[in-house]
Structure 1
Amino acid sequence: MNYKQSYEMWLESDVIDIITKEELKALNNEKEIEDRFYKNLEFGTGGLRGKIAAGTNRMNIYTVGKATQGLAKYLVTNFTNPSIAIAYDSRNMSDVFAETAAKVLAANGVKVYLYESLRPTPMLSFAVRHLGAEAGIVLTASHNPKEYNGYKVYGSDGGQLTDNAANEVLGYINEIDLFTGIKTMNTEDAVKAGLLVYIGEDVDNAYYEKVETVVVNKELVKERASELNIIYTPIHGSGNIPVRAMLKRLGYTNVHIVKEQELPDGNFPTAPYPNPENPQVFELAIEMAKEVGPDLIFGTDPDCDRIGVIVKEDSGEYKVLTGNQVGVLLSEYMLNARKETGVLSTKDTLIKTIVTTEMATRVAEAYDAQIMSVLTGFKYIGEKIEEFEQTGSNNFVLGFEESYGYLSGGFVRDKDAVIAATLIAEMALYYKTKGKNLAQALHDLFEKYGYYKEELVSITMEGKDGQEQIAAMITALRENTPTEVNGVKIATVEDYKLSTRTNVLEGTKEEIKLPKSNVLKFVLEDRSWFVIRPSGTEPKVKIYASVVGKDEVDAAEKSKAFVSNIKQILNVK
C-alpha cells in the first residue's frame, strides 16, 4: 500500500474520529501527506517517538493503540497473568496516550499499574521492579521540542526493552490491523475488574528511601547539607516534586526554584527546546543567580532523566558544564569518596558509552578501579548492572553518557536525574568544604588528567529523503575509510555493524563483543577520535569528536580544526 492509499483509508474509516479526519483533509502539502503516511512510526528498542499529529508516521491515539495491542500480545504470549506499570510526563497528550495504552492493555487482560499524575522516567523504571511487573511504559519525548511525544517500553528488569524483545513486539504490531485489531475497554470497567490500579505515594516513598542509599559521604550530608545554596529549575517538567522532595529529605533546605519554569507545561513557554544541554534554558536561572549567589545551579529535562549543571567561572561568567565534564567530576568524586570512607575496591566499576569521554578511563585508572564502554543508549548500561548483580563480578559505582545522563545504585535501570541531583549536590557540598566550586574542581582534574575536549555535531535530515541520506553517508564512510585527519594517522577503525576492530597500522583485526549497531568509530595516533552514528530517536546523524590538548586553549584550537576536517571528509556543513 502506498502513502496515498493509506491516507485515503484514514479518511474513509469509521474508526478514525471526525477531528482527526478534519486535520487530514486540511493538509494541502503533498510532501507532508507523504511523510505522515509513507511508513508506520518505527517501533525500536526505544519504543516510538515522533511528532504529535494524524498519520501512520506520527504519534496519536491510533498509533499508540496499535503499538500497545502488539505489546499486549507479546505479554500474554510470554507471561502468565502479566502486569505492566505506566508513567507519563508533562508533554502535551502524554496523559491521553497513557490512558489509551492502559485501556488497551486492560482489554487484553494485562493488569495495569498507572501513576495517578506525572512522574519522571526513572521512577517508572523503579516501579516496574518494585511492583514485580513484566513491563513498563513511559509517555515522553525526553528533551525534544513541544511538537513531539514518545512511548518508551521497559522490560521486567526496569531497563529499556532488549533488542530481541523489541523485535518480537514489532512482529506482533505488524500483524495488527489499525482499524479492526485493537481491543479497548473503558476506565471504570477496568478499575472494577481489578485490571487498572493507580500508583500512589507508597511507591514514591519506597523510591525516595532507595535514593537515600546512593549518598556516599552520609556524615558530610547529614551535618552540612543546609550550608549549600542551590538554584533548581524543572524546565516545566516532571522533576519538580521528586527532586525537591529528595533534596529536602537529605537536608538541603536552602533551595531556590525558578518560578517561571516550576509548573508542568507541555508547550515549554520559556524553553522551546527543553534540553539541559542548551544554555538558553538556564537564562532565567542565571538571572536569579545574580540575586541569590548560589553554590550550584542545575535543571532537569521534561521527563527528569537528564540533568544540566551551571558553574560560575573565576571570571564571574556562568557556564553550562558538558555531560562529559559532569560525568568525570562525579567519577572522581565518587571514587575518591569511597576511598576516603574506606570502601573503595578493585571491583568498583564505572560504565560509559563508546561516545563518552576517555578522560573517565584516566580517572578509573588513578583509583585502580575498572571501566567499561557499551553502545550508546542507557539500556546497555542497565544490562551491565544486571550482569554484575547476577555474577557478583563487579561493584557498580556510576554509569553515565555524554548526553547528560547519570545513574548510581541498582534499583533503577535508566538514567536518573533525581539520583544525579542528590549526587551532584553532595559533590558540590564536598568541594565547598574544601573552598572550591565545581568549576575550580574541574580545572584541577584537567591539570591532573589532561585537557580533554569533546564536541557533538548533530545534522538534522527530516523525512524519507533524510533517512536515506544518513544511511548513504555512513555506508560511504565505511567503504571509503580515510587514512588520516588533519595530518594525523587513523590508528584504529571500530565498525559496530560488522563487529570488527581493525588496527590499521598493524593490519590486525579483532571482534567487538557488543550488539550490532550502524556506528563507526575512528581513533587517531594522538588519542583523538570521532564517531558517526544515526540518532535512534530523532531524524539526525550525530558526529562525536574528542581531542586532548596541552591546556584549554590548545584543546579548543585542536577541537575546532578536528571537527572542521571531519565535516570535510563527510561533505557536510
Structure 2
Amino acid sequence: MSTQIRFGTDGWRAVIAEGFTFANVARVAQAAADYWRDHPVPGCDLRVVVGYDRRFFSDRFAECAAEVFAANGYEVLLTSMATPTPAVSLAVRDRRCIGGVMITASHNPAIFNGFKLKSHYGGSSDPETCRAVESYLDRSPVRRLAAAEAQRQGRLRRVDLQPPHVRTVRRLVDFAAIGRSGLRVAHDALFGAGAGAFEALLAGTTCQVTSLHTEHDVLFGGLNPEPIPANYGPAAAFLRRHPHDLCLVTDGDADRLGAMDGRGRPLTTHQLVCLVLYHLHCHRGLKGRVVKALTLTSMVDKMCSAWGLPLLETGVGFKYICPEMIKGDVLLGAEESGGMGLPGHIPERDGLAAGLMLLELLACERKPVRRVLLGLERQFGPHRYGRHDLHLPQARVAALLDRLRNAPPDRLGRWPVAEVKTFDGIKLIANNGAWLMLRGSGTEPVLRIYAEAATDTDVRRLLKLGLRWTRQV
C-alpha cells in the first residue's frame, strides 16, 4: 500500500525512512514531471533545478529526484553541494526553468526531510499547483535514469548555484556602504546549508565575519535548525565572551533569518521584520504594499497605518505571500518564522538577503541595533511575543480548533475579545490589541500557540490560557 503524501505549509515533509523514502521521493518527482509536462509555461524550457540541504541523505534523495526528471526528458541542473533554498529559487527563475525541487525539511527536527516545489517565477509553488501535483501521484509508473548515465547523455549537469546568488544579493543592497562600515558580524548557521554564506557575501570588505556552527552535522548539534532563542544558547555564550555588532542566524536551508544583538541577547523575528520595514521606508524612501502572515506582530499594522502603506494579511506560509509579490508593488512580504521577501528580488523568502539588509540598516544608522529598536518602540509601543509548540495528534488539534471556531471565547483573560479571525487556525484579538492564536502546523503533528501583548507577563498568561484550552479536548 502506497504512503499517503500531502503537501503542507511549504512542501511535503515526513520522517526519514518512514514516509520519506527513495520510493516516495521518486513518486513525487514523477508526479511533478508529469504535471509540468502537461502544463507548459511560455518562455520556459523543459528544465528543472534540483537542490538539497545538509540533512541525512539529502544529496542522495536529490539525486533520486534528478534521475526521475532526467528519465522523463527534462534537462536537470543538480546542485554540486548543499545549497540555500533561495539560490535554487533564483536559478529556477534566471535559467528559464519550468520548475525546481529543493530537498529540505527547513527548520524541522533532524529525523525529517522534505520536498519543496518551486515554480518558474522563482518562488514557492502556490497551493493550487501543490494540490494538482498531488493529484498526479501514481498516474504513471516511475521512470529513472541512473545519474551517471544521465550525465553521459547530457541530461544532467552538476552546478554551483551559490556564486550567482551572492552576486544578485549584493546588488540588492548598498554594498559599498556595508563594505566600508567595519561591522563585526557573527553568523550562526545552525549547522545548515547557509554555512559560510556571510563570509562569501562580505569577502573583500572591512567587515569582520565570525562563522559559528558551520560543521556538517546531520543531527544539527542536537538542536532543531530553527532561528528562535531556544536554539541560540551556544552562540549566545560565545557572544558574551566575544562581543560583535550583530549576530545573524539562519535556519537549515537559509531561507529564514533570526538574530541576536552583539552580546548574545535574542532579537525576535518580529523585531527583525520591523527593522527591515523601517529601513526600506524611512531610509530608502520606498513605498508599496506590505504582505504579512497573520501570526506576525501587530507593530507592522501600526507602522503601515502611520506611513500610509497598504497592508494585506494572509495565512501562514510563504506560498500565500508569494502570489502577492508576483502581482507587484510589494514593499515587503514577511512571516513570523523569519521569512522575508524583498523588493526587486525573487518572490521568495531569503535569509541571506534579509541579513544583508539589516547590515545596511546598521551601516546607515551607525548605532547599536537595540537603540534603533528602542526608537521604534517609543513611536509604536512595546510589543512582546511568545510561542509554544505542543506535540498533539492531528485529530486532537482539529477537534480543538473546531470547538474554538464554533464557540469562540468572549474574553482573553481580563480583556474582552474584539475580533476573531478563523482563516488559518483561530486568532482572538482583545480590545487592547493583545492577541492569542492557535493553529496546527502544516508540516508536523504540532499545535502552535502564539501570543502578543505589551508585556512579557501578559504574554505568558496568554500562552497558559491557550495551553489550558488544549486540556479541554
Q: Deviations over 1:19-52 (max 9, x none)?
A: xxxxxxxxxxxxxxxxxx8x52423463221111
Does residue 230 in structure 1 map to residue 136 in structure 2?
no
The corresponding residue for 1:185 is 145
Q: Secondary structure at the match of 2:172?
A: coil
The corresponding residue for 2:274 is 328
The corresponding residue for 2:379 is 448
Q: Give the distance between the partners of 1:377 and 1:311, measured in 2 at CA.
A: 27
Q: Deviations over 1:391-426 (max 9, x none)?
A: xxx2x3322211122221343222111101211222
Residue 572 of structure 1, CA deviation: 6.4
Q: How many residues align?
A: 470
Q: Which amino acid aligns with 1:321?
A: L
Q: Which moved more, 1:94-103 or 1:147-156?
A: 147-156
The corresponding residue for 2:225 is 274
Q: Deviations over 1:215-267 (max 9, x none)?
A: 1x556335x32x21112222212112333211226x25311222xx1222212
Q: Deviations over 1:88-125 (max 9, x none)?
A: 01111100000000001111112211111111011111
Q: Give the distance between the partners of 1:437 and 1:98, measured in 2 at CA.
A: 42
The corresponding residue for 1:369 is 309
Does residue 212 in structure 1 map to residue 170 in structure 2?
yes
Distance verdict in 2 for CA 1:362–1:45, change over 3 Å: closer
Whether the 8 Å contact between 1:485 and 1:566 is mirrored in structure 2 is no
Whether the 8 Å contact between 1:45 and 1:161 is mirrored in structure 2 is no
- Superposition map of 1:263-302 within 5 A: 263-269=215-221, 271-280=222-231, 282-302=232-252
Q: Give the distance between the partners of 1:565 and 1:235, measured in 2 at CA.
A: 32
Q: Secondary structure at the match of 1:397?
A: strand
The corresponding residue for 1:15 is none
Aligned-residue CA RMSD in angstroms?
2.2
Does residue 121 in structure 1 map to residue 82 in structure 2?
no
Whether the 8 Å contact between 1:76 and 1:110 is mirrored in structure 2 is no
Residue 83 of structure 1, CA deviation: 1.6
The corresponding residue for 1:63 is 24
Whether the 8 Å contact between 1:134 and 1:155 is mirrored in structure 2 is yes
Whether the 8 Å contact between 1:237 and 1:303 is mirrored in structure 2 is yes
Q: Deviations over 1:3-29 (max 9, x none)?
A: xxx4xxxxxxxxxxxxxxxxxxxxxxx
Distance verdict in 2 for CA 1:359–1:283, change over 3 Å: same
Q: Secondary structure at the match of 2:106?
A: coil
Q: Give the distance between the partners of 1:60 and 1:219, measured in 2 at CA.
A: 46
Q: Give the distance between the partners of 1:338 and 1:285, measured in 2 at CA.
A: 32
Q: Give the distance between the partners of 2:76 and 2:264, measured in 1 at CA.
A: 45
Whether the 8 Å contact between 1:534 and 1:542 is mirrored in structure 2 is yes
Residue 520 of structure 1, CA deviation: 2.0
Does residue 418 in structure 1 map to residue 352 in structure 2?
yes
Q: Deviations over 1:420-466 (max 9, x none)?
A: 121122223333x2xx31122212211211111222121112xxxx1
Whether the 8 Å contact between 1:519 and 1:534 is mirrored in structure 2 is yes
Distance verdict in 2 for CA 1:174–1:141, change over 3 Å: same
Q: Give the distance between the partners of 1:483 and 1:350, measured in 2 at CA.
A: 30
Whether the 8 Å contact between 2:69 and 2:76 is mirrored in structure 1 is yes
Q: Give the distance between the partners of 2:236 and 2:468, measured in 1 at CA.
A: 37
Distance verdict in 2 for CA 1:285–1:485, change over 3 Å: closer
Whether the 8 Å contact between 1:122 and 1:413 is mirrored in structure 2 is no
Q: Give the distance between the partners of 1:561 and 1:299, measured in 2 at CA.
A: 28
Whether the 8 Å contact between 2:196 and 2:211 is mirrored in structure 1 is no
Distance verdict in 2 for CA 1:218–1:161, change over 3 Å: closer
Does residue 255 in structure 1 map to residue 181 in structure 2?
no
Structure 1 unmatched runs, 5+: 1-5, 7-36, 389-393, 497-517, 550-554
Whether the 8 Å contact between 1:353 and 1:401 is mirrored in structure 2 is yes
- Superposition map of 1:37-186 within 5 A: 39-44=3-8, 46-54=10-18, 58-79=19-40, 82-175=46-139, 181-186=141-146
The corresponding residue for 2:463 is 563
Q: Secondary structure at the match of 1:411?
A: coil
Q: Give the distance between the partners of 1:64 and 1:133, measured in 2 at CA.
A: 20
Q: Give the distance between the partners of 1:286 and 1:278, measured in 2 at CA.
A: 9
Whether the 8 Å contact between 2:49 and 2:91 is mirrored in structure 1 is yes
Q: Give the distance between the partners of 1:163 and 1:77, measured in 2 at CA.
A: 18
Does residue 539 in structure 1 map to residue 473 in structure 2?
no
Whether the 8 Å contact between 2:438 and 2:466 is mirrored in structure 1 is no
Q: Give the distance between the partners of 1:283 and 1:485, measured in 2 at CA.
A: 32
Q: Give the distance between the partners of 2:206 and 2:189, measured in 1 at CA.
A: 17
Distance verdict in 2 for CA 1:287–1:467, change over 3 Å: closer
Q: Give the distance between the partners of 2:145 and 2:61, measured in 1 at CA.
A: 14
Q: Give the distance between the partners of 2:199 and 2:96, measured in 1 at CA.
A: 27
Residue 172 of structure 1, CA deviation: 1.1
Structure 2 unmatched runs, 5+: none
Residue 331 of structure 1, CA deviation: 1.3
Distance verdict in 2 for CA 1:126–1:476, change over 3 Å: same
Q: Give the distance between the partners of 2:9 and 2:433, measured in 1 at CA.
A: 32
The corresponding residue for 1:319 is 265
TM-score by length of 1: 0.78
Match 2:257 to one of 304, 307, 312: 307
Residue 470 of structure 1, CA deviation: 1.1
Residue 289 of structure 1, CA deviation: 2.5
Q: Which amino acid aligns with 1:277?
A: I
Does residue 467 in structure 1 map to residue 394 in structure 2?
yes
Q: Secondary structure at the match of 1:428?
A: helix
Does residue 438 in structure 1 map to residue 369 in structure 2?
yes
Match 1:241 to one of 196, 221, 225: 196
Q: Give the distance between the partners of 1:566 and 1:279, measured in 2 at CA.
A: 20
Q: Which amino acid aligns with 1:285?
A: A
Distance verdict in 2 for CA 1:318–1:472, change over 3 Å: same
Q: Deviations over 1:492-512 (max 9, x none)?
A: 22221xxxxxxxxxxxxxxxx
Higher relative contact order structure (alpha carbons within 8 Å, sequence separation ≥ 6): 2
Q: Secondary structure at the match of 2:277?
A: helix
Q: Give the distance between the partners of 2:186 and 2:319, measured in 1 at CA.
A: 30
Q: Which amino acid aligns with 2:340?
A: Y
Whether the 8 Å contact between 1:279 and 1:320 is mirrored in structure 2 is no
Q: Give the distance between the partners of 2:390 and 2:293, measured in 1 at CA.
A: 21
Q: Give the distance between the partners of 1:245 and 1:173, measured in 2 at CA.
A: 40
Q: Give the distance between the partners of 1:527 and 1:241, measured in 2 at CA.
A: 41
Q: Which amino acid aligns with 2:24?
A: T
The corresponding residue for 1:527 is 433
Whether the 8 Å contact between 1:104 and 1:183 is mirrored in structure 2 is yes
Does residue 457 in structure 1 map to residue 457 in structure 2?
no
Whether the 8 Å contact between 2:240 and 2:264 is mirrored in structure 1 is no
Runs of 4+ deviating beyond 4 Å: none
Q: Secondary structure at the match of 1:173?
A: coil
Q: Which amino acid aligns with 2:26?
A: G
Q: Which amino acid aligns with 1:232?
A: H
